[in-house]
Amino acid sequence: MSDMIEEVHAANGAFYAALESRDLDAMGAVWEHSDRIVVTHPGWPMLRGWARVAGSWDAIFRNTGYIQFVLTDELVTVVGDTAWVTLDENILQSAESDQLSGSKATSVNVFVRDQDDPAHWRMVVHHASPVAGDG
């Protein structure tokens, strides 16, 4: 079990690394490319399927100059070939101006073991929401 938790922890870390480096290829390697995947960015509507998910990351990366995540209260749970990670995202970012601003979101990330590559877990859900009155 602890190996699996480590694998999922690594997959979750790769997700935030791709996000911080605004690297769409790295983000593509994190996700399962299927119709059943879902992303909900803070305040956004739910988007289904790899094409829409990829398009949203492309738009976010093009509009983000700098973004850094400090993850707190992270918990990984594995049940069979599925896992979910819950955590708080403490976010520092710049937009069009050079001003840095802080915000906080809370997130659930769901992963499924890749049947063709069993040591790797692919993201199937990322749902992040703003936490009121924080940041």
Strands (E), 8-131: 38-40, 47-48, 66-79, 82-94, 100-113, 121-130
Member of 73, 98, 116, 117 binding its own copies (CB under 8 A): 73
Member of 18, 27, 67, 110 binding its own copies (CB under 8 A): 110
Long-range contacts of 69-74, Cβ-Cβ distance < 8 Å, separation of 24 or more: 69/16, 69/19, 69/20, 71/16, 74/9, 74/12
In terms of Cβ atoms closer than 10 Å to its own Cβ (0-12, 13-18, 19+), residue 26 is middle
Q: What is the DSSP letter of 48?
A: E
88 binds its own copies (CB under 8 A): yes
- Rank residues 19 and 105 by Cβ distance to its own copies and give the closer one: 105
Q: Of 13-21, 54-62, 90-98, 104-112, which segment contacts its own copies by CB under 8 A?
A: 104-112
- Rank residues 80 and 98 by Cβ distance to its own copies and give the closer one: 80
- Write each residue from 24 to 53 as x if it is in contact with its own copies (CB under 8 A), else as -, in one continuous string: ------------x-x-x-xxxxx-x-----
Minimal distance, residue 42 CB to its own copies, in Å: 7
Cα separation, 43 vs 18, whole angstroms: 21
1 binds its own copies (CB under 8 A): no
